[in-house]
Each structure stands twice: as C-alpha cells, then as structure tokens.
Structure 1
Amino acid sequence: MKTYLTYLSMLGLATMLLACKEDLTEYNPAGSTAQSLFTTPEGIEAGVNGLYTYNRYFYGKEEGQALMEMGSDIWTNAANNGNTGSNGVFPQPALTTYQGLTTDNLWIKNRLWQQCYAAINLANSVLAYMPNAGLTATRRTELEGEARFLRGWYYYHLVEAFGAVPLRLTPTESIETTATRAPVEAVYQQISSDLQFAVTAVPPTTTEYGRITRPAAEAFLAKVYLTQGRYREAGNYATRVINGSTYRLLPTYADLWNITRQQNTEVLWAVNYSTNLTFNAGSNLNHTLFLMEYNTQPGMKRDVANGFPNVRYMPTLFLLNLFNEQNDSRYNASFKSAWLANETDATKRPAGINVGDTAVLTTKYPVTASFRQSKRYRIYDVNDMYKADGTPNDRFHYISLRKFDDPTRATDTETQSSRDAYMIRLADTYLVAAEAQFRLGQADSAAYYLNAVRTRAAVPGRQAAMRITATDVTLDFILDERARELAGEQVRWFDLKRTGKLVERVKKYNPDAAAYIQPYHVLRPIPQSEIDAVTNKAEFRQNDGY
C-alpha cells in the first residue's frame, strides 16, 4: 500500500468537484484516459490502491490535526502555532480558536474538501469501469468492497465537516459548473449502503498491512451508525468486531506507541508510512507537533531521542486533569514530563547536573518555593504553565504528548517519520460499543465495555481502582474516557460534534477558544472558491454564519 500512483493524476480522474473555472483549458500530456487505464485488471487494482493514498493528506499531518483535534476541549495553541515570537502572544489561528475562521481557509479547502472529493471521484471512476475490466468474479467483489468502503470513508469526513454536500456517484470527467448539496440524511444513506456492501465483500484478513479488512469495515460502520443515532446497529457491529474477530487489545497501553510494534492485534487500519521516506510523498509529522521547546533549556540540546520540537499544540489543563496517574498508566504513556540532560558540553549544563540527570520537569501540580530551590533542574509547574482559569501562561514549555515519538529517525534535523498513523483501532470500537449501549439505556453494558479499556490501562495492581459501575456512566464520562484513550488520534472534533457537545465543552474547558466559538461552528465553511466556481449560487449556498 506504499505505491503512489502518480500517473493517475495525468488522467484528470481526480478533478476537483466545483473547483474548475469555465475558461479552464484542459491538457493531458500523456494522452491517457480512464477508458484506456481501467480496461484491465491491473488498471483497476492500481486505481483501488490509489484510493488509499488520499488519507496521507491529513492523517499524520499538521493540517489533519488542526482539522480533527484542535478547536476542541483538549488542545490549544502552543507558541509556534501562529506566534509572533514575543512572550507567547500570538494571533490565534482560526482552526484552534475559531477566531477569524473564514471561507478562505486553505487547509479546509486544500486538505479536506479537495482531497476527499478527488478520492471520491477516483472511486467513482474505478466502480464505473470495473464491470468490463476482465476481473475474476471473486476479485471484482473484493475490489468493489474496498472502493465502496473508501468512498464512504471520504464522504463521512465531508458530511461531518460540512453537513449537506454534493453527492456524486458517477465519475466527473469534464468541467461542471453547477452543483447541488444533498441532505445529510441522503449522504449518510449512501455511506451506509457502501459500507453494508463492503462488510460482506472484503476479506476478513489481509497479507497487505494497510488494506481494508472486514473487521475494519464493521468498526467503521459501527461508528457511522452511532453518528446517525442508530444505536442498536452500532452496538451490534461493534460487538462483531470485539467478539468475532482476531483483533485484541494489547496487554499494556504503552505497547501501542512502541514504534517497533506498530503492526499489532489492536490496529484495525492505519496509514502505512514507509521507512523509505521518499516513498511517502510527505511522511508522518505528528511527532513534531506536540513537543515543547526543550532544546533551549539548560542542559538540553535537540537530539533524535527527544524529538524535533515544532511547538504547535499543547494540552489544555482540562485534558491533563482528566488523568489520575496513580491508577491510570495512560498519562505517563501519553505525556512526557521529565527531560533528561543530553548536553555533553559540561559548560552548558547547570552545576551538578550530569548527562542523564533530570534537566527539566514539567508538572500539572504546584510546587513549593522550597522544593524548587532544593532542585538543580528547571521546573515548570502548573502555575508556570497555566493561569488560574486554564489559559496558557507559557506556550513554549508544557507537558508534551509523547505517543507519536520516533526515535528511529536518521538525524535530529529529520522532521519526517515512518511511524504509521492509526485510523481505526480496537479500543475506539469498545468505546463506540459503550456509547451505543448507554444511548440504549443499558448503562451496565456500557460500563462493561468501558471497563475493558480502563482495566487494560490500569497501573499494575490498580485494576480495581480503574473499574467503574453503571452509575458512573454518563455521556460526559464517555467523552472523558475517549480523551484519555485517544488524545491526538484525530477523532476529537468529530466526537464532540457527534455528541452535540462541541460548543458546550469548548466554552467550558478551552479558554483560548471559549470567547470565539459559536453554534454555527459545528460545521466548517464551504471553501469560497467552490461557491465562486458554480453558476447556480442561489441553490449552492454557504453554511450559516460564514
């Protein structure tokens, strides 16, 4: 699944819906057409493989994190996310705080709208030409299942982000100047139809890591049904994956983030980034985005082990306080609080600190003046990092997300990572099952699925302290649990939108964004260039509020 089918772009099959101006002159230097490429089994195989690559535009990328994790209750801006460089005072970027979010946002347009529609158009082309391409009946069914799954996957991202969107099920092979936004219910009906086909068509296992399997399709269909409010179906499909597949939770949460164990029994589907970075056409950058500026601290310099600090995003105080690390191993597995001296030049280390000693400590607890004075290392406590209301006090130095670290990079200047980006994993499916059961009024069943995730996350010997009862289960508790388990995994914005909690929880827990988020922000703006390109503007209207 590492092949980039660059020649597909010459066909014009990935024409962006609505983005063409009437005076566009088409030029096809290869003389290739869909009819010539997709007439053979090899061409169809290449087309389906190409569908997977569009995930690389946002999974494991800064744009994807901004679109799918930021602007939520658990993350906010660090210093270099639009910072002026002066004391952490910065013009707040639109996707993290909603301040100045306009119809011209390039990441919404280039990375979400255009890439999803390019993928959908390729899926439509593959599906249209597949019947006459000479495939065996068995292989045709499998490939149709993959193509329809991926079409549904990209439509899910569009309908959740924008609401009503154009629903195209045939290839766009020429310039179109009109468009109609299909109702959300119609889009979801098509997504469900595609996925219902996929769960019976794709095989239960694969020898090609990164390719869709039946359990992955069932897990995604469970989330789609959950989003639609079809809770019984959501629970049924989630349970199929949990009880009827070979996928299992890993013994410890930290195992998930060991870069030598990425292909494991918990990951149902991932973007499979190559160790040969030239194959990736842009590798995973998640490891750089959440790190504080450690390299300017006494006794520290940038190195491979500690990572490349882009200082983009920092946790809200609310996220940090969700964890009781005495019981929950996910805090220390997810976050880095202590930085060990790595500066070999003794003159650049504080007196008494040797290589390997603690050089910097970040803590979510307050420390006393006497404690601070008793230590040789630099301390940033909760009051250094955050104001009393949770607004960041220091956007350069903070507790850093470590789960995406890549200590296998060749040099300390290398920003690209071969780490895979998980898109569906089993713990998420357990939490989908829990939410479905709660919505059905079965709090005891919801607690059962929550406890499976929580006891796996327990500090050894603290399993009993991590277990909950039915009376503990609320929608907010489930969202808190999803934050503890899935922070940074590009699901949070969709979680809050699905549950109707986006505005409420941002206002309550994210002081940077609280003053700016409005009810209409539960949808993204349609890119202005798309509206400008259509001739039926009275029908193809912008989302309210923009």
Structure 2
Amino acid sequence: MKKIVFGILFFSLMFGACSDFLEEEMVGTLTQEHFSTEQGIEDLINGAYEGFRFHFAFEWSYSLTNYGTDEFTHGGGMDRAYFNNYDGALNPGEWRDLQPFWDNMFAHINQANTGIARIPEVLAGKSQHNTRLGEAYFIRGFNYLKLVEQFGGVPIKLNPTSSIELEFRRASAGEVIERVITDLRMAEQLLPNEPAQKGRAAKSAARHFLAKAYLFRASERNAEFTRSTDLDSAAFYAEQVINDPRHQLAPDFHDIFNYTTVNGPNEHLPEIIFAAQFDDNQSLLGRYGNRVHLYFPSVYFTLPGMMRDLANGREFQRLRPTNFALDVFDRSVDSRFYKSFKTAYFSNNANTLPRWTEDNAPSPELVGEPRFQVGDTSIIYIVNSLDDDRFVRADIDNAAPHIYIRNYINDEGQNATNYTLSQYPALSKYFDHNRQTPNDERGTRDGILARLAETYLIAAEAYGRKGDYAKALEFVNAIRERAAYKEGEERKIEYYISENIPFGETGSTVEDMRATVNAFTPGTPEADQEMYPAGVTSQEQMFVHFILNERARELMGELIRWVDLSRTNTLITRATAFNAQAAPNIRERHVLRPIPQSHLDAIQWDGRPLTADEKQAEQNPGY
C-alpha cells in the first residue's frame, strides 16, 4: 500500500501551533474557499495526519509520558529533569513542552472541526465521504483524549474557528471524555475495515482508542464520573480488535522493534494498529523527524575503542531505567528484557583501542597489546540482582571489555555499582540507523501509537477489574507466552553472565511465563515477586498493580506510562517507591498537569480578561 505523503508545508503554513485559538482567524479566512473543494478536503485531512508525528517530534515525547514514573528517571542529560523531579520549574508558566502540547492538540482539533463542518457538503454522495469524515472524528477524538489524559478538563470546541475567539471556559473531565467517546464511536462507524493507505486510520484504530477511553473513564482518577458499563465497553471494543483477522501478535517480541530499513517489515506487522508515519525523505521529515531515538541511549562514544556511529545512536541520555524497570522482568525467562535493552556494544574505533597494562594484563606478554579488536565486544552491562555477590572490583578492572556491573562487592566489602548517570543499559526500541549521519537528530522510523499487545492488556484489565480473573489471564498469558524464550532460541552472552545461567542453555521458558491468579493473591510467593508497593494488600489492588507491572514489561518506554499511573491514581505511590529523584517532591497536584498560563492570560469571560481569582479557579488544584 502506498504510504501517505503528508502535507507538512500545508500544515506549517496554515495550521502551525498557535496560542489557544487566537491566531486562527487568518487560517479560516485564507482557507475557506480551498476547503470547499474535494482537493481542499484531501489536503486538510492529509495535513491533519501530520499532527500524529508531534508525539515523537521533540523532548515533549518523553517528558510528558515517561519522566517522573516508576520506569525511568533522568540520566546525565537533564534538560527536562523538572518533569522527572517534580520541582518548582514544573509550573503553569512552563513553555517548552506543556504549552506546545496544548497549542498543538487544539490546532489539530480545529483541523478536524473544519473537516467535520465541510465534508458533509463538499463530499456529499462521493465515495470518500464516510472515510474522510470518520478520519476527522478520529483525529478530534484522539486529540481530546490526549488533552484529558494530561490536564483533566479542557475547553471543548466543536466548530471551526473563523474569527478571533477569546471566550473559552473549561469543560469538566467527564464532559471531555464523553466527547472523546462520542467522536471515536462516530469514527468507528464511518471508517473502513482496512485503510486504503498505510498510516491512515481504520475501524480497528478507532476501536482500540475507544477501549482505551472507556478504560480511562473506569479508572480511579475518574471515579466521580465512571459509568457502570465502562468496563464492559472497554472489553467489547478491545475484543473486536483482538478478533479482527487483520491484526495478530508478531511471532517474536523482537520483530516489533527490529528496524532494518525505512518502511521495512517491522513497520508493516499486523500487530501495529496505528502509527505516525516517518521516512527518510528529507523534504518531508519536517523540522524534527522522529527524535525519540535520541533520548534513551547512554554514553558510549567517549570510551576507548568506541566512536559514535549510526547503529548505536546519538546519546542525549535523558532516560535512565530505574531499578524497578530492571527488576520487574523475570529476566531469566522473559525475553522482553534483553529484547528491550541494549546490554552490549562492539568496538568500532581502531584508533583508541584500550591496551593491557602491567596492573591488569592476564599474562606479561599481553602488556601493551589491545584488550580487544574492532568488531569484538567492547562494552558489557551486567544486569544482575542487587543481592548478587559474585562480582568484585577486580572483575571490572581486569576485564578485556569495559564492564559495567549493577552490583558488585567493593574492596571494603560493600555493595557498589559502576553504573552512572550516563552509563546504564539503554532502552533499544527506538534505535535508528537510517539517519543520514551519526549526529543527525531527525529520525526516520514510524512512531507506534497503538499495537495489539496493548489491546490485549486493555481487555485483561477490563475483565480483571470486573472480577473475572480467569478471562483476564487469558489475555495476559497470550502476550506472556509470546515473550517466553522458545526451545532452541539463542540468548545473548550477557544473559548468561547476568542471570548466572549455564552457557548454552536454550530451553523453552513458556511454562515459566504463564501467570496464574497467585500473582495477585496476597501471601503467595508469586505475589511477593511482583514488587508491589507498600500498602497494596488486597487482591483487587494487587490486580491493578499486576497489570501495571505487565504493561511495564510489554510497553516499557512506549510513551504512555505517566498516563497509566495518573489514571489509576498510583503515580504518587509508585514514583515514591521506585523513582528516588521524584520521591522528595511529588505531591497530589502532580496527577494532573498545570493549565498553561499563556492560555489563562489570553482568554476572556464576557468580554473581559480573567481576574487573578478566576484564573486560579480555572487552574488545576495546587498550581
């Protein structure tokens, strides 16, 4: 299928991020005639799809989604660390990420509003009428979902802006999520079963996000407006996607992120339900491209025998995994850990090879010789348990490659690590070797917004919250069995070292990966292994935290974690328990983001600016 060519120039000129709705008068004036034509509608909807790239385009991709959670804390690159540390810089005046997010979501909503208003007339009786109208509803519902997840209640705007508008009042979170559901249900009715082009939304995308929206409304943060049928609806729409023959889980977890070439096999997997489209056409990459590849890698190019290259990425070192992120996996049986994290590198610089010295050479004749050659393993991260006493400092000093050990016994007999803010196992899901140069920041790989494994977990959570644990475990175990090592499957050398497993062991771990109700039954050994935070004592509580753990194992770093913890009212509990940098400052107010001050300063009520008290009333509590 032909890939959509997005109207980036069209978008940037006509629908660039604006302050709320204030600059959209010119947009409406300049484009009304064009949007009264079939080509104008095509341009409008194609341009609106470009908006999905926003979620992968810059630092807001991770700062609003993975910082300040149990999965990741800041690394050595601390440019947005206040989102992780919840310090005073995270306030209504924050303009680098919160304001662009707010402005862009509303810009894309206005595009959708224009389409919803124009399509019934312009495309009346045309074959593309339902599809384009469904796409417009999908785009509006998606963007309002993103807003309500972050901010709670926001203004609801359903008509295109055609003149200067200043009068805006927040709707409640309940009203916003109801609008999301209404729009996505319209999209689900109108969209085709299969998209005509790669990257367009189909019924399955609408159903996935409908399931997500219903589950969001059924979650603890939204208890005051949860409806009794929400869990049934979440399960219903999730199962419609799961039972759709157009979508299947990839055979191997590794397949999903095995990016071999632009628009390659991993970007056409039937597991992918919806993705923001990128490629290596430099004229269409826009200002940013997909930049998420920059934010997870740890520093390697400064080490002897190494230099920065395309394969290993450019290291902005923003996101460092927490101990929870490393330990939530049973690494000996769950292949997702070593398929999600980079734990070894190969030497690529003959000019800086380290050499044996008299202090560390295994034999005198090796003094002055290279410790390894180009192409040899040059860096190994040993991800052992925190109670592992097999290693001592000499294992680091006397090894041929650079060795980073999570826990070793130092010369004083104490537990120690040589992991640092800048050296740690890096999430490998976003590596992009198809950029033009090693320092190129604009990435080319598609950004996954919905994949089938998450749909399985939505269904599992819905059934488990209803008390049907057997049904929930069917969905959980479908993805856990996929995650198991298969008979004869090779493991990485660092797997054997870290997990203390005999070299060459390649047995199946499918049976070990199957979860039972014991995983969330108080007092069982299986529940003890799940790292539940203090105070999580009932089976109902444990189930929610079990699903959060399983979502971490499957969806680690996939830019949804903060929302998961916020919606379940577990953000404070889990950030406090597992993120040492977040723990001192996180407060109840942080379960929502502050409404941007730029919005509050710009709007009016009854023709006048808001007073200080009125602005405070429109702001989220505690800011």
TM-score calculated relative to the size of structure 2: 0.81
* Identical amino acids, percent of aligned pairs: 35
SS in 1 for 2:106: helix
Alignment of 1:352-367 (within 5 A): 352-365=371-384, 367=391
Residue matched to 1:270: 275
SS in 1 for 2:553: helix
Residue matched to 1:544: 621
For the pair 1:102 / 2:91, whether they are aligned, the reply is yes
Change over 3 Å in CA distance of 1:435–1:390 after alignment to 2: farther
Alignment of 1:35-434 (within 5 A): 35-82=32-79, 93-100=81-88, 101-229=90-218, 230-259=230-259, 260-261=264-265, 262-281=267-286, 282-345=288-351, 351-365=370-384, 367-383=391-407, 394-434=420-460
Partner Cα distance (2:98, 2:509) in 1? 47
Q: Say if 2:296 and 2:426, in contact at 8 Å, map to a contact too.
A: yes
Q: Which amino acid aligns with 1:484?
A: R
Over aligned residue pairs, what C-alpha RMSD do you find? 2.4
Partner Cα distance (1:311, 1:516) in 2? 22
Partner Cα distance (1:392, 1:542) in 2? 44
Q: Which amino acid aligns with 2:329?
A: F
Change over 3 Å in CA distance of 1:5–1:419 after alignment to 2: closer
For the pair 1:513 / 2:582, whether they are aligned, the reply is yes
1:420 Cα deviation (Å)?
A: 0.6
Q: Deviations over 1:37-70 (max 9, x none)?
A: 1111111121111111112222253211111111
1:513 Cα deviation (Å)?
A: 0.4
Change over 3 Å in CA distance of 1:530–1:58 after alignment to 2: same
SS in 2 for 1:296: coil
Q: Say if 2:484 and 2:513, in contact at 8 Å, map to a contact too.
A: yes
Residue matched to 2:598: 529
Change over 3 Å in CA distance of 1:348–1:409 after alignment to 2: farther
SS in 2 for 1:68: coil
Q: Deviations over 1:260-282 (max 9, x none)?
A: 32221100000110221320202
Q: Which amino acid aligns with 2:240?
A: R
Change over 3 Å in CA distance of 1:454–1:11 after alignment to 2: closer
SS in 1 for 2:165: coil
Q: Which amino acid aligns with 2:564?
A: D
1:11 Cα deviation (Å)?
A: 5.0
Q: Which amino acid aligns with 1:375?
A: A
Partner Cα distance (1:324, 1:60) in 2? 33
1:431 Cα deviation (Å)?
A: 0.4
Partner Cα distance (1:392, 1:117) in 2? 45
Gaps of 5+ in 2: 219-229, 357-369, 409-413, 487-507, 521-542
1:16 Cα deviation (Å)?
A: 4.0
1:534 Cα deviation (Å)?
A: 1.8
1:535 Cα deviation (Å)?
A: 2.6
Match of 1:501 among 567, 570, 582: 570
Partner Cα distance (1:268, 1:440) in 2? 26
Residue matched to 1:85: none
SS in 1 for 2:474: helix
For the pair 1:6 / 2:9, whether they are aligned, the reply is yes
Q: Say if 1:41 and 1:135, in contact at 8 Å, map to a contact too.
A: no
1:389 Cα deviation (Å)?
A: 12
Change over 3 Å in CA distance of 1:466–1:133 after alignment to 2: same
SS in 1 for 2:243: helix
Residue matched to 2:519: 472
1:491 Cα deviation (Å)?
A: 0.8
Q: Say if 1:391 and 1:512, in contact at 8 Å, map to a contact too.
A: no
- Comparing 535-544 and 459-468, the one that deviates more: 535-544
Q: Deviations over 1:104-147 (max 9, x none)?
A: 11234443100000000111111112222144354212111110
Change over 3 Å in CA distance of 1:244–1:46 after alignment to 2: same
SS in 1 for 2:56: coil
Change over 3 Å in CA distance of 1:134–1:334 after alignment to 2: closer
Q: Say if 1:17 and 1:176, in contact at 8 Å, map to a contact too.
A: no
Q: Which amino acid aligns with 1:544?
A: P
Residue matched to 1:87: none
Q: Say if 1:40 and 1:133, in contact at 8 Å, map to a contact too.
A: yes
Change over 3 Å in CA distance of 1:227–1:356 after alignment to 2: same
Change over 3 Å in CA distance of 1:34–1:400 after alignment to 2: same
Q: Say if 2:304 and 2:352, in contact at 8 Å, map to a contact too.
A: no
Partner Cα distance (1:390, 1:520) in 2? 36
Residue matched to 2:524: none
Partner Cα distance (1:406, 1:141) in 2? 36
Partner Cα distance (2:339, 2:50) in 1? 30
Gaps of 5+ in 1: 83-91
TM-score calculated relative to the size of structure 1: 0.92
SS in 2 for 1:513: coil
- Comparing 108-117 and 228-237, the one that deviates more: 108-117
Change over 3 Å in CA distance of 1:13–1:144 after alignment to 2: farther
Q: Deviations over 1:511-538 (max 9, x none)?
A: 1001111011111011111111123325
1:14 Cα deviation (Å)?
A: 6.8
Partner Cα distance (2:396, 2:416) in 1? 22
Change over 3 Å in CA distance of 1:301–1:14 after alignment to 2: closer
1:294 Cα deviation (Å)?
A: 0.4
Q: Which amino acid aligns with 1:104?
A: G
Structure with greater Cα Rg: 2
SS in 2 for 1:38: helix
Partner Cα distance (1:447, 1:521) in 2? 32
1:348 Cα deviation (Å)?
A: 5.0
Q: Say if 2:304 and 2:353, in contact at 8 Å, map to a contact too.
A: no
Partner Cα distance (1:490, 1:389) in 2? 33
SS in 2 for 1:451: helix
SS in 2 for 1:511: coil
Change over 3 Å in CA distance of 1:216–1:310 after alignment to 2: same
1:358 Cα deviation (Å)?
A: 2.1
Q: Say if 1:151 and 1:194, in contact at 8 Å, map to a contact too.
A: yes
Q: Deviations over 1:304-358 (max 9, x none)?
A: 1211111111111110111122111111111011122111226556633111222
Q: Say if 1:362 and 1:398, in contact at 8 Å, map to a contact too.
A: yes
Partner Cα distance (2:91, 2:99) in 1? 14
- Structure 1 consecutive aligned stretches of length 4 or more whose deviation exceeds 6 Å: 388-393
Q: Which amino acid aligns with 2:154?
A: V
1:12 Cα deviation (Å)?
A: 6.7
Q: Deviations over 1:157-195 (max 9, x none)?
A: 111111111001011222222211111111111111111
Q: Which amino acid aligns with 1:368?
A: V
Q: Say if 1:152 and 1:195, in contact at 8 Å, map to a contact too.
A: yes
SS in 2 for 1:514: coil
Partner Cα distance (1:243, 1:362) in 2? 40
1:360 Cα deviation (Å)?
A: 1.8
Partner Cα distance (1:389, 1:39) in 2? 70
1:481 Cα deviation (Å)?
A: 0.8
Q: Which amino acid aligns with 1:164?
A: G
Q: Say if 2:59 and 2:97, in contact at 8 Å, map to a contact too.
A: no
